[in-house]
Amino acid sequence: MHDNDAPTSASHHAHHAIRLTHKQTAALSLAAIGVVFGDIGTSPLYALKACIEHRSHASPIDEGYIFGILSMMTWALLLTVNLKYLLVILRATNRGEGGIFSLLSLIPRSLNKGRGLRTRTLVLLAMLGAGLLFGDGLITPSISVLSAVEGLKELPNAPTWIEEAILPITLLILLLLFAMQQFGTGSIGKFFGPIMIAWFLLLAAMGLHQIQLNPEIIKALNPHYVWIFIQSDPMQAFTVLGSVVLVVTGAEALYADVGHFGKFPIQIAWYTFVLPALLLNYFGQGAYVLDFLRQGSPNAEAIHSLRPFYGMAPDWSIVPLVIIATIAAIIASQAMISGVFSIARQAVRLGYLPRLRVVHTSSDTEGQIYLPAVNLLMLVGCVMTVILFPSSEKLGSAYGIAVTGNMIITTILFGVMARRLWRWKRWQVLVVGSFFLSIDGLFFGANMLKVLTGGWFAIAIALGATLIMLTWQQGSYLLGKKFAETSSNIHEFLAALWVKEVPRVPGTAVFLTTNNATPFSLSSFVEHSHVLHQQVLLVSVTPINLPVAPPQRQIRLTWMPDGFYKVSAQCGFMESPDIPKLLEKAREHGLAWDPESTTYFARRVVVLTTGNSPMALWRKRLFASLTTVATDSVRTFNLPPSRVVEFGVQMEL
């Protein structure tokens, strides 16, 4: 991609802003509250509780600790979400689409020539970031639903079986959540906005009530309390950052979801509604804990069982509060699951994952998709997560590493992109990059201390996903090379065809190809049937570094001798290739094509691990098993099944 291919998002959104009326912007902002802020909006359920848990194991909490923690949480929100994501990172979109692969695709092609070390490092970083996001996608539903259901422990005179029922209830909700995915978010999405608005209003009201009872808590807005906290116990201040980071979880999902709503509506929703509601609730929880401390010197056990979020609510409201918190947690999980689906599809389109079945759940919204294989993997992953970490405190340890690792990778890729595409001066990149990296690095460092207590889980998922992507990318490259070595050039094939005088039969044959080599299915068909159709279309679909291919670049038709045509199509990383639709477009370029007399030819490859390719045997086996998971050409390219002929081929790797 050259610089002129991807406008900076500032120009993109300026273009959008002209077309959006105030009414449309308001509607998009309300919708964004329902989808984009679900994850960050459920953090009050467990963030302050995790910070208190952290201290109660070491030494009793006091008022200075609460002021220090609250100040840290406030400035984490302001610096990370406000400054980094909403004001800086959100400008880096590829034609309006956000997320880690969009950021990678913005880095100009000048950097991507060949397979240089720098390119490979950046691709590896993006893969690792995507792997961490997959980990995040398993932990978010688990921790959100589990913390909401744990509110049942706060019921007055709660029966003893309640505690044992929390795990089964959580697993049942997760099972229903993933079963619901096949119906798409469109049908239920319209309820998300109003429910999340009610949730944020409830957060604000609960917090405001407690602040009125203890107004001095407002002093924690002053960052001076962070400094006092650091001076009093530097090590404690550093380690607690591992729990403080829970207030900013969801910032990465916010960036990935920008394509659905646009930058401006997300910013409006955050500044006018979401941020005030979150701050009011956190300060309300702080006021509640201050009050709790002043009622006497509580023992470690009392502090350990303290749940500030539910503690703020009167006894009669616990059950309704648990219900709305669970619904909010489900909505937060939904946003994360949709984000993982989008990232997985981008990875497939960019050649980092096997072709997976993509189901479009909405006829008018391109972004609403369902990937059955990914959905099943996430369900199994979430069930394992909840069984391994049966409480929100234990899950908090696993959560932080996925979030903070992703933040670091986003900052690095953003710095490279700003220097290469936006032509920032080196000192600008250094100043902005080092400022954000120092914050991300502190959060990440504090979370690395929790590797043994749960952080290993997020790291294992990220490394596993990265290994799968690397293996698929390398295996596909080596397999393509093998096919190129064993097949003749298309022009040599045409010359041989002319010499042999192969009879031609009426109709059109479509062969899928990737380059100028003769497709295996074409040479096999001629070899076995000794005939060929009058019109032959060699169709190649190339993924490009844009979310959607511009109309002028979608189709190129090249005439070749003897009734052969080369149809080259480009497909953006947010699109699904549809060959019949592309051939319809080729008609506009002068192609005489009749769908009723067309036969599609495809190949199905069986990979054997007995070849001499430079790849470890265990990785060859992994690649071979991944090829069996890959969706066939019929589903991938939306071919009519009754008109497809498949040829099997065995290839040694």
The CATH class of the 3-474 domain is mainly alpha
Can you give the residue ranges of every domain in the chain?
A: 3-474, 489-652
Nearest to 563 by CA among 602, 518, 507, 512: 507
Mean pLDDT rounded to a whole number for the chain: 87
Q: Are strands 564-572 and 555-559 parallel, antiparallel or unpaired?
A: antiparallel
pLDDT in tens, 585-639: 998 888 899 999 999 998 888 999 988 888 999 999 999 999 998 888 888 899 9
pLDDT at 204 over 90: yes
Separation CA 5–CA 319 (nearest Å): 54
pLDDT in tens, 508-552: 999 998 777 888 889 889 988 889 999 999 999 988 888 888 888
Give the pLDDT confidence score for residue 14 in this predicted structure: 36
Separation CA 32–CA 34 (nearest Å): 5
Q: Which of 47-61, 380-394, 421-435, 634-648 has the lowest mean pLDDT?
A: 47-61
Separation CA 124–CA 230 (nearest Å): 36
Give the pLDDT confidence score for residue 38 in this predicted structure: 86
Q: Which two tokens stand for residue 114?
A: 């060949």
Give the pLDDT confidence score for residue 366 in this predicted structure: 59
Segment (H or E) for 274: none
Give the pLDDT confidence score for residue 365 in this predicted structure: 60
Q: How confident is the model at residue 350 (pLDDT cuts 50, 70, 90)?
A: confident
Please work out, in degrees rounded to the nearest 5, the angle formed at the alpha carbon of residue 67 by the alpha carbons of 61 and 70.
105
Task: Answer whether 360's CB lies under 8 Å from 161's CB.
Answer: no
Give the pLDDT confidence score for residue 13 in this predicted structure: 39
Give the pLDDT confidence score for residue 436 in this predicted structure: 97
Mean pLDDT confidence for 344-368: 80
Alpha-carbon distance values, 122 to 162, 313, 458, 543 (Å): 49, 48, 21, 18
Give the pLDDT confidence score for residue 15 in this predicted structure: 38
- Buried b / exposed e along 108-120 (16+ C-beta atoms within 10 A): beebbeeeeeeee
Give the pLDDT confidence score for residue 12 in this predicted structure: 39
Give the pLDDT confidence score for residue 84 in this predicted structure: 96
pLDDT at 362 over 80: no
pLDDT in tens, 434-446: 999 999 999 999 9
In sequence order, the 6+-apart residues with CB closer than 8 A to the CB of 535 are 507, 508, 509, 563, 565, 592, 593
Mean pLDDT confidence for 391-418: 90
CA 411 vs. chain centroid, Å, equals: 16
pLDDT at 16 over 60: no
Q: How confident is the model at residue 18 (pLDDT cuts 50, 70, 90)?
A: very low
Q: How confident is the model at residue 186 (pLDDT cuts 50, 70, 90)?
A: low
Alpha-carbon distance values, 14 to 17, 20, 99 (Å): 5, 10, 20
Q: How confident is the model at residue 57 (pLDDT cuts 50, 70, 90)?
A: low
Mean pLDDT confidence for 181-201: 80
Give the pLDDT confidence score for residue 267 in this predicted structure: 92
Give the pLDDT confidence score for residue 11 in this predicted structure: 35
Q: Which two tokens stand for residue 488?
A: 């003749």
Task: Answer whether 458's CB lies under 8 Å from 401's CB.
Answer: yes
- Buried b / exposed e along 313-341 (16+ C-beta atoms within 10 A): beeeebeebbeebbbbbbbbbbbbbbbbb
Q: Which of 56-65, 165-174, 494-503 has the lowest mean pLDDT?
A: 56-65
Task: Answer whether 641's CB lies under 8 Å from 600's CB.
Answer: no
pLDDT in tens, 402-412: 889 999 999 99
Give the pLDDT confidence score for residue 191 in this predicted structure: 76
Task: Answer whether 333's CB lies under 8 Å from 327's CB.
Answer: no
Mean pLDDT confidence for 70-75: 97
Nearest to 281 by CA among 565, 77, 133: 77
Nearest to 348 by CA among 579, 650, 572, 125: 572
The span from the first CA to the last CA of the chain, in angstroms, equals: 31
Mean pLDDT confidence for 258-278: 90
pLDDT at 222 over 80: yes
SS (H, E, C) 130-189: HHHHHHHHHHHHHHHHHHHHHHHHHCCCCCCHHHHHHHHHHHHHHHHHHHHHHHCCHHHH
Residue 10 has phi, psi (to 5 degrees) of -60, -45
- Buried b / exposed e along 202-215 (16+ C-beta atoms within 10 A): bbbebbebbbeebe
Separation CA 624–CA 474 (nearest Å): 12
> What is the percentage of the chain residues whose pLDDT exceeds 90?
48
How many other CB atoms are there within 10 angstroms of residue 262's CB atom?
23
> What is the percentage of the chain residues whose pLDDT exceeds 70?
93
How many other CB atoms are there within 10 angstroms of residue 605's CB atom?
18
Q: Is 108 helix (H, G, I), strand (E, B) or coil?
A: coil
pLDDT at 155 over 70: yes
pLDDT at 268 over 50: yes
Task: Answer whether 623's CB lies under 8 Å from 472's CB.
Answer: yes
Q: Give the residue, 106 or 508, on which the prediction is more confident.
A: 508
Q: Which two tokens stand for residue 300?
A: 């470690």
Q: Are strands 532-544 and 369-370 parallel, antiparallel or unpaired?
A: unpaired
Sheet containing 598-608, strands listed edge to edge, beginning at the edge strand earlier in sequence? 555-559, 564-572, 532-544, 504-512, 598-608, 644-652
Rounded to 10 degrees, the C-alpha dihedral 463/247/241/408 comes to 40
Mean pLDDT confidence for 118-143: 90
Separation CA 170–CA 383 (nearest Å): 9
Alpha-carbon distance values, 165 to 99, 154, 244, 388, 479 (Å): 37, 14, 29, 16, 51
Mean pLDDT confidence for 206-211: 96
